[in-house]
Amino acid sequence: MSEWDSLVDEAAGGSYSGGARCHVARMYEELPPEGLTPVRNAIKNPSISASSLARSLAKRLGDRAPKAHSIGNHRRGGCRCQED
Protein backbone atom coordinates (compact mmCIF):
# COMPACT_ATOMS: atom_id res chain seq x y z
CA MET A 1 0.00 0.00 0.00
CA SER A 2 1.49 3.33 -1.02
CA GLU A 3 0.98 6.70 0.62
CA TRP A 4 -1.25 7.61 -2.33
CA ASP A 5 -3.84 4.94 -1.59
CA SER A 6 -5.37 7.00 1.21
CA LEU A 7 -5.48 10.29 -0.73
CA VAL A 8 -9.21 10.26 -1.53
CA ASP A 9 -10.27 9.33 2.01
CA GLU A 10 -7.89 11.85 3.55
CA ALA A 11 -9.03 14.69 1.31
CA ALA A 12 -12.71 13.84 1.74
CA GLY A 13 -12.34 13.86 5.52
CA GLY A 14 -10.45 17.14 5.58
CA SER A 15 -7.63 15.44 7.43
CA TYR A 16 -4.24 17.08 7.36
CA SER A 17 -1.48 15.91 9.62
CA GLY A 18 1.74 17.32 8.28
CA GLY A 19 3.57 20.53 7.73
CA ALA A 20 4.18 23.66 9.70
CA ARG A 21 1.62 25.78 11.48
CA CYS A 22 -0.15 28.29 9.26
CA HIS A 23 1.10 31.82 8.64
CA VAL A 24 -1.60 33.29 10.89
CA ALA A 25 -0.55 31.15 13.86
CA ARG A 26 3.10 32.04 13.28
CA MET A 27 2.17 35.72 13.11
CA TYR A 28 0.37 35.43 16.49
CA GLU A 29 3.63 34.22 18.04
CA GLU A 30 5.52 37.26 16.74
CA LEU A 31 2.99 39.97 17.58
CA PRO A 32 3.66 42.38 20.44
CA PRO A 33 1.27 41.80 23.36
CA GLU A 34 -0.76 44.92 22.57
CA GLY A 35 -1.40 43.70 19.02
CA LEU A 36 -2.57 40.17 19.76
CA THR A 37 -6.15 40.88 20.86
CA PRO A 38 -6.95 43.41 18.09
CA VAL A 39 -5.56 41.08 15.42
CA ARG A 40 -7.43 38.04 16.77
CA ASN A 41 -10.66 40.08 16.89
CA ALA A 42 -10.14 41.29 13.31
CA ILE A 43 -9.52 37.74 12.07
CA LYS A 44 -12.67 36.50 13.82
CA ASN A 45 -14.75 39.33 12.32
CA PRO A 46 -16.34 38.08 9.07
CA SER A 47 -17.29 41.62 8.00
CA ILE A 48 -13.59 42.42 7.49
CA SER A 49 -12.37 40.98 4.21
CA ALA A 50 -9.24 38.87 4.23
CA SER A 51 -7.72 41.14 1.57
CA SER A 52 -8.31 44.29 3.57
CA LEU A 53 -6.96 42.70 6.72
CA ALA A 54 -3.88 41.41 4.89
CA ARG A 55 -3.13 44.93 3.61
CA SER A 56 -3.51 46.44 7.09
CA LEU A 57 -1.28 43.79 8.61
CA ALA A 58 1.33 44.27 5.89
CA LYS A 59 1.55 47.96 6.81
CA ARG A 60 2.48 46.97 10.34
CA LEU A 61 4.40 43.73 9.80
CA GLY A 62 5.80 43.99 6.29
CA ASP A 63 6.78 40.64 4.77
CA ARG A 64 5.94 38.81 8.00
CA ALA A 65 2.21 39.48 7.51
CA PRO A 66 0.08 36.61 6.21
CA LYS A 67 -1.45 36.91 2.76
CA ALA A 68 -5.21 37.10 2.22
CA HIS A 69 -5.31 33.45 1.16
CA SER A 70 -3.73 32.36 4.45
CA ILE A 71 -6.15 34.47 6.47
CA GLY A 72 -9.14 33.04 4.59
CA ASN A 73 -7.87 29.51 4.96
CA HIS A 74 -7.35 30.04 8.69
CA ARG A 75 -10.85 31.47 9.07
CA ARG A 76 -12.37 28.44 7.35
CA GLY A 77 -10.42 26.05 9.57
CA GLY A 78 -8.55 24.73 6.55
CA CYS A 79 -5.13 25.07 8.14
CA ARG A 80 -3.25 22.67 10.36
CA CYS A 81 -3.39 24.80 13.51
CA GLN A 82 -7.18 25.23 13.56
CA GLU A 83 -6.94 28.02 16.12
CA ASP A 84 -9.55 30.61 17.06
Per the domain annotation, does 80 fall within a domain? Answer: no
Per the domain annotation, does 11 fall within a domain? Answer: no
CA quadruple 51, 19, 10, 82: dihedral, nearest 10: -50
pLDDT for 18 equals 56
By the 8 A CB rule, do 10 and 41 touch? Answer: no
How does the average pLDDT of the chain come out, rounded?
A: 86
> 79, exposed or middle or buried, with CB in 10 Å at 0-12, 13-18, 19+?
buried
Per the domain annotation, does 83 fall within a domain? Answer: no
Per the domain annotation, does 71 fall within a domain? Answer: yes
Per the domain annotation, does 45 fall within a domain? Answer: yes
> What residue numbers bound the domain in which 58 lies?
18-75
Number of domains the chain is built from = 1
Q: For the segment 26-58, what is each residue's pLDDT rounded down to a tens digit? A: 999 999 999 999 999 999 999 999 999 999 999
